[in-house]
Amino acid sequence: MVQWVYRFGDGSADGTAQMKQLLGGKGANLAEMASLGLPVPPGFTVTTEVCSYYYANGRRYPDELSAQVMGALEAIESSMGTSFGDPANPLLVSVRSGAPLSMPGMMDTVLNLGLNDQTVEGLADRADDPRFAYDSYRRFIQMYGDVVLGVDHHLFEDALDAAKAKGGSQLDTDLSVDQLKTLVKTYKGIVKSSTGQPFPDDPLEQLWGAVGAVFSSWMTPRAVTYRRLHDISAALGTAVNVQAMVFGNMGMTSATGVTFTRNPSTGERAYYGEYLVNAQGEDVVAGIRTPQPLTKVMADGAMLGKSLEEVMPQSYNELVNVFERLERHYKDMQDIEFTVERNKLYILQTRNGKRTAPAALKIAVAMVEEGLLGREEAVVRVQPASLDQLLHPTLDPKAPREVITRGLPASPGAVSGRLAFDADSAEQRSAAGEGVILVRTETSPDDIHGMHAARGILTARGGMTSHAAVVARGMGKPCVCGAGDLEVRSDAKTLRVGSLTFGENDTLTIDGGDGTVMSGVVPTVDPELSGDFSRLMEWADTIRTLRVRTNAETPEDVKTALRFGAEGIGLCRTEHMFFEESRIIAMREMILAADVAGRRAALAKILPFQRADFVEIFQLMGGMPVTIRLLDPPLHEFLPHNDDELQKVADATHTPLARVRRRTSELREANPMLGLRGCRVGVLFPEVYEMQARAIFEAAHDVQKASGQSVIPEVMVPLIGSARELEILKARIEEVAVAVAEERKEKLAHHIGTMIEVPRAALVAEAIAEHAEFFSFGTNDLTQMALGLSRDDSGSFMDAYLREEIFPADPFQSLDVTGVGKLIEIARDGGRKARPNIKVGICGEHGGDTQSIFFCHRAGLDYVSCSPYRVPIARLAAAQAALQKA
Ligand code: PEP
Ligand code: MG
């Protein structure tokens, strides 16, 4: 018989932490903690296989499930000494979703399940406090109504506010038993009128309703979007955890909290968390009451209120013991939910805590020093793409600023943007190229798309573990939350702070590192790249086998890339070098010239500029390999676009206006990705590539002579589609090399190779390799031509395509998913057949994408080349790729 239900509690469990696929992350860790003997309330997990079964069988459960659930429920009853539905001594349970990977897009939690008009009396007796029982009851109806029955939660909140107003109460806790009883009736009325059905009284009916809601939530649009954004397969399914309730709201000796074993924002080794006295867990994360700090150190810092350490020292000490055990056990920073019921501590959840990139780095390196992790383990702990956050600017400490208010430093990084007051407009305005900050009173899972699109997030309510804070840290977005002075009016699209009012067109700057909110734009500075960062990078470098180069053509970019550890230039695009004021005229003269002599004369003016550019690059690179690509775009990109400009060009180049106009329209490519561009220009106008080759070789000679260090330029020909093209061009480039060597009376080593970026080139790679010493995959063009998509398509109809899973992934993300990787393998094999030692690399954008780098490692490429800011990402990803294989 299939085991669909796994039990845990009383020092033992059916499952283990390793069983995340089957039990979900939450269930697996509850099992593990129970086996470790930690104080976990007893419960059971309905497996992810039930979820798969449910969807494969028209939303029905396996036959054996009901009996297994009943058996497990009885086990909880006997452990707790209570019974489900027993009016005298009722068992209450929580029901929570729990996928193998954390998924905030799903149904989260129903607490206090099992309450009805009879059992609430039994609960009241047990607690010696009827207020507590009725408060739990009204919470249950509200939560169940919202997440299981789909009743608009505002209806409940409005009814609660009305009850408080009527009774003259400030806080939820001020409501009397009678007021709560009335509220329960009102709530039930809301459910009845919203759903047409009475609120279910039967605890078993409640339980199956909640289980069904968890499974259904797996396929809500929100969950589907979240999975798409995070590359999570729908096949995983979610588990359901049912667990005996313990109560943090049983008076002033009870509490509930969320904590981290280290600071998730900075990585500092200090316990870090929040709690509320006399509250249930949701109160902490929902941002409704602002929680108090866990430790005295935190209390002495920015946070308000007395710490748990001071208020409940005994529970705090027990909790600290649990922290230490769990961190050592899991060898990772833990995110822990706990409840204290009348001075007895319970642990409700542990998981590896989400953290910012700086924190991930600090924790990984610190854990090696503490002997918890080896270097290789530390290297896989940091997500390569997250390093981006460490490399980007922070506020210039010297810059003047006008701080308008402060909130909590929820996720670091400084950013400026105009204000967006709802998720949809944040998404739309970002898509239109505007940088926005999403401003909300508090965020909810419905805001995910807007949070994703915004540059930063600012909320008026909620603590360090509020939804906004947790999600922003996961996304690596700067976030300031709980800025209590802010009055956010999303309907009026205004933000008020004291006497100041800001609207959609106003700009603010937020600093998620210290929680400040400033008006206007505050300038930023580059980060320091030392300490933990360089240590982790050194470890990565000893592990990886792929080399990492950069795509750079300006001295500025080259210097940045070198700072980030680039080992060469994989792509120097020369066309940018023609656009400067002084050069573009000569370039236009060249294009407009009537004959070869005219073209040569114009090119002769450009040559010294180009040579000077290359000299600078060779000098900066100090003998590292430098691949220079010859001219690539179609010529019309250099010509003017409007009448005014046409006239200016005619004047400057002494060409009749009519001729300028005719030549411009002759050269216009309908699709600038295709047609007369790349090596085709080189074949038809030999002078262009000859000039460029000369500039390269002369520069290399000059630098070699001056430095005494050998300079070995790699000349790269773009857009080859047939072997013959390269054969012709290679012969001409070699001629230039020989001529320059004779003039300079010195030999110069060099390599000539090509990009593989036209699909045909991959198919005839063997023939091309006869003439090429290296291949570099131009996966930008290769992807666009292979998939028939341009980059601009990725945001338009592609959204619908991805949602419907018509395409497996964003075509510009990963080479193995799009199938472009197959073309690369074909080309690699063809190339190596003709020339076994051919050097093979990649210089399209994919060279900086983690998944694609994993692919390049598996495919046995020699190097990846990426933009300067991605060099550290590539170094780390290459190391992780090497470890994956092992
Ligand atoms: C490519 O096509 O991948 C490439 C690197 O060239 P470009 O992006 O300049 O077309
Ligand atoms: Mg290209």
SS3 for 758-815 is CHHHHHCHHHHHCCCCEEEECHHHHHHHHHCCCHHHHHCHHHHHHHCCCCCCCCCCCH
pLDDT at 761: 98
Dihedral sign computed on CA atoms, order 454, 455, 459, 462 = positive
Give dist(CA 513, CA 188) in Å, integer.
Answer: 45
Residue of 456, 454, 469 whose CA lies nearest to 509: 456
348 pLDDT higher than 90: yes
Spell 688-726 as b/e; 16+ CB within 10 A means b: bbbbbbbbbbbbbbbbbeeeeeebebbbbbbbbbebebb
Please give the share of the chain, as a percent, with pLDDT higher than 70: 97
Top mutation candidate among 780, 846, 867 for ligand 1, by most atoms within 8 Å of CB: 780
| Alpha carbon of 674 to ligand 1 centroid (Å) | 13
pLDDT grade, residue 295 (50/70/90)?
A: very high
- The pLDDT of 268-290, averaged and rounded, is 83
* pLDDT tens per residue, range 32-60: 999 999 999 999 999 999 999 999 999 99
pLDDT at 413: 84
288 pLDDT higher than 80: no
Residue 843 in contact with ligand 1 by CB distance below 6 A: yes
DSSP letter at 251 equals S
- The pLDDT of 684-699, averaged and rounded, is 97
Calculated CA dihedral for residues 416, 417, 422, 426, nearest 10 degrees: -120
Give dist(CA 397, CA 526) in Å, integer.
Answer: 11
Give dist(CA 199, CA 180) in Å, integer.
Answer: 17
pLDDT at 614: 97
Assigned token pair, 569: 């230039």
350 pLDDT higher than 80: yes
pLDDT at 826: 98
Residue 783 in contact with ligand 1 by CB distance below 6 A: no
pLDDT grade, residue 720 (50/70/90)?
A: very high
Residue of 752, 613, 758 whose CA lies nearest to 677: 758
Give dist(CA 420, CA 443) in Å, integer.
Answer: 13
**Residue 234: CB partners within 8 Å, gap ≥ 6?**
218, 219, 224, 227
The number of beta carbons lying within 10 Å of the beta carbon of residue 784 is 21
509 pLDDT higher than 90: yes
Residue 345 in contact with ligand 1 by CB distance below 6 A: no
With H, G, I as helix, E, B as strand and everything else as coil, classify residue 481. strand
Which of 92-106, 319-333, 775-789 shows the highest mean pLDDT?
A: 319-333
**Residue 743: CB partners within 8 Å, gap ≥ 6?**
none
Residue 844 in contact with ligand 1 by CB distance below 6 A: yes
Give dist(CA 799, CA 225) in Å, integer.
Answer: 10
pLDDT at 736: 98
Which of 463-477, 589-603, 832-846 shows the highest mean pLDDT?
A: 832-846
Nearest CA, atom 3, ligand 1: 778
Backbone angles phi, psi at 405, to 5 degrees: -170, 175
pLDDT grade, residue 129 (50/70/90)?
A: confident
pLDDT grade, residue 317 (50/70/90)?
A: very high
Residue 474 carries which side chain, given as an amino acid letter? Answer: G
Top mutation candidate among 553, 573, 575, 852 for ligand 1, by most atoms within 8 Å of CB: 573
pLDDT at 814: 87
Assigned token pair, 190: 């809301």
Give dist(CA 119, CA 134) in Å, integer.
Answer: 11
Residue of 476, 345, 328, 354 whose CA lies nearest to 411: 476
pLDDT grade, residue 476 (50/70/90)?
A: low
Give the gyration radius of the chain's Cα atoms: 32
| Alpha carbon of 850 to ligand 2 centroid (Å) | 20
422 pLDDT higher than 90: yes
Cα 249–chain centre separation: 36
Residue 243 β-bridge partners? 43, 94
Q: Does 278 or 95 have the greater pLDDT score?
A: 95
Helix (H) or strand (E) holding 394: strand 394-395
Q: Does 807 or 399 have the greater pLDDT score?
A: 399
Query: So which residues are the catalytic ones?
Result: 467, 843
Q: What angle do CA 250, 255, 259 make, to 5 degrees?
A: 155
Question: What is the 3-state composition of the chain as percent helix, strand, coil, each rounded to the nearest 5?
Answer: 50, 15, 35
pLDDT grade, residue 360 (50/70/90)?
A: very high
Dihedral sign computed on CA atoms, order 343, 349, 350, 356 = negative
Calculated CA dihedral for residues 851, 825, 801, 150, nearest 10 degrees: -40
Give dist(CA 257, CA 248) in Å, integer.
Answer: 9
Give dist(CA 273, CA 257) in Å, integer.
Answer: 7
- The pLDDT of 150-159, averaged and rounded, is 93
442 pLDDT higher than 70: yes
Top mutation candidate among 669, 680, 681, 757 for ligand 1, by most atoms within 8 Å of CB: 757
Q: Are 48 and 22 in contact (CB under 8 A)?
A: yes
pLDDT at 792: 58
pLDDT at 287: 62
Place of tokens 């798969």: 52
The number of beta carbons lying within 10 Å of the beta carbon of residue 430 is 20
Assigned token pair, 766: 């063997």
301 pLDDT higher than 80: no
pLDDT grade, residue 607 (50/70/90)?
A: very high
225 pLDDT higher than 90: no
Assigned token pair, 5: 């239900």
Reported residue count of the chain is 886
Residue 847 in contact with ligand 1 by CB distance below 6 A: no
Which of 346-355, 521-530, 651-660 shows the highest mean pLDDT?
A: 346-355
- The pLDDT of 103-131, averaged and rounded, is 89
Give dist(CA 602, CA 32) in Å, integer.
Answer: 75
- The pLDDT of 53-74, averaged and rounded, is 97
Q: Are 481 and 457 in contact (CB under 8 A)?
A: yes
DSSP letter at 527 equals P
With H, G, I as helix, E, B as strand and everything else as coil, classify residue 151. coil
Lowest mean pLDDT among 163-167, 275-279, 358-362: 163-167
Burial class (CB in 10 A: 0-12, 13-18, 19+), 554: middle
| Alpha carbon of 554 to ligand 2 centroid (Å) | 18
* pLDDT tens per residue, range 813-863: 789 988 999 999 999 999 999 999 999 999 998 999 999 999 999 999 999
Bridge-based pairing of strands 408-411 and 414-420 is: unpaired
Give dist(CA 822, CA 806) in Å, integer.
Answer: 19
Q: Are 850 and 877 in contact (CB under 8 A)?
A: yes
- The pLDDT of 708-734, averaged and rounded, is 97
Which residue pairs from 192-200 have beta carbons closer than 8 angstroms and sit at least 24 positions apart in sequence? 194/145, 194/149, 194/151, 194/152, 194/155, 195/149, 195/150, 195/151, 199/141, 199/144, 199/145
Lowest mean pLDDT among 334-338, 394-398, 566-570, 830-834: 394-398
pLDDT at 265: 86
126 pLDDT higher than 90: no
Residue 757 in contact with ligand 1 by CB distance below 6 A: yes
Residue 363 in contact with ligand 1 by CB distance below 6 A: no
Which of 219-228, 401-410, 560-569, 785-794 shows the highest mean pLDDT?
A: 560-569
Question: HEC string of 608-666?
Answer: HHHHHHHHHHHHHHCCCCEEEECCCCCHHHHCCCCHHHHHHHHHHCCCCHHHHHHHHHH
Nearest CA, atom 6, ligand 1: 778
pLDDT at 469: 84
Q: What angle do CA 773, 776, 778 make, to 5 degrees?
A: 150
pLDDT at 229: 76
| Alpha carbon of 124 to ligand 1 centroid (Å) | 70
Query: Distance of CA 814 to CAs 45, 405, 768, 775, 819, Å?
Result: 35, 42, 26, 20, 9
Give dist(CA 155, CA 230) in Å, integer.
Answer: 33
Q: What is the mean pLDDT of the chain?
A: 92
pLDDT grade, residue 289 (50/70/90)?
A: confident
* pLDDT tens per residue, range 758-813: 999 999 999 999 999 999 999 999 998 999 887 656 556 776 777 777 877 666 67
Assigned token pair, 438: 């999403």
Please give the share of the chain, as a percent, with pLDDT higher than 90: 72
Dihedral sign computed on CA atoms, order 50, 53, 59, 60 = negative
Query: Distance of CA 32 to CAs 278, 798, 819, Å?
Result: 28, 42, 40
pLDDT at 1: 87
| Alpha carbon of 757 to ligand 1 centroid (Å) | 8
Give dist(CA 97, CA 241) in Å, integer.
Answer: 6
